[in-house]
Amino acid sequence: MKRIAIVTGASRGLGATLARVLAARGFDLVLAARDSPDLDRIADELASDAITVITRIGDVADPFTRNTLIDAARYLGGLDLLVNNASELGGLAPLADVESGRLERLLRVNLIAPLDLTRAALPLLRERRGLVVNVSSDAAQGAYPGWGAYGASKAALDLASRTQAAELAATGVGVVLVDPGDLRTRMHQEAFPGEDISDRPLPEVTRPFWEWLLDQPQDGVSGRRFRAQEEKERWLVEA
């Protein structure tokens, strides 16, 4: 049976890297992003006689966009893997200076959208005992000055994901958290405007982790939080 995955935020960076890993493993893909040109480029790169790639342009905070992703997976035949990778930094500022509208936007993108997309995907995921991967951040645990709003949204996602893993254990659906670490991506550059971030590794550095994770039975990893740039021995013991 052909495996099928949804990856949000797939037009570049970590999402594009993961899409390449999945395509190499023969997954059919539903790829989502807000930017059409970059997403089309990735789709053209990955599509082949053996791999079907469906793209959907839109904001994951929009319920319509989320519904189109589920519809596309259903069209392909089901869903084995949901990767909630799309995130928004929202600019860095002390929490005392963060207006409620900006905080609400971050929570809609970084917390509510992954949870709502997971909820909508559950009927398909149950059929195949699938896995949900929620992309986290060290900012969820680091209490870094200026990162409070973004970190709070990711910390909330961490707790919600672990709770959901426990709630779904009997259904055969797994939920894991992955902290990819500092990477040379556009979003990371946004956090350090005008600075040279060339010392950060490219997202491809996480590829060995993804290859490992995709070989694990979901009931052996569900509920756990992984750091994708750690050594393999640390992947296995991460709480």
Which of the residues are catalytic? 150
* Residues contacting residue 10 through CB under 8 Å, at least 6 positions apart: 16, 18, 19, 29, 31, 32, 33, 39, 42, 85
Q: How far apart are CA 85 and CA 188, in angstroms?
A: 14
Of residues 220, 88, 231, 110, the one with CA closest to residue 159: 110
CA dihedral sign of residues 160, 166, 167, 169: positive
Q: How far apart are CA 9 and CA 39, in angstroms?
A: 9
Q: How far apart are CA 21 and CA 91, in angstroms?
A: 30
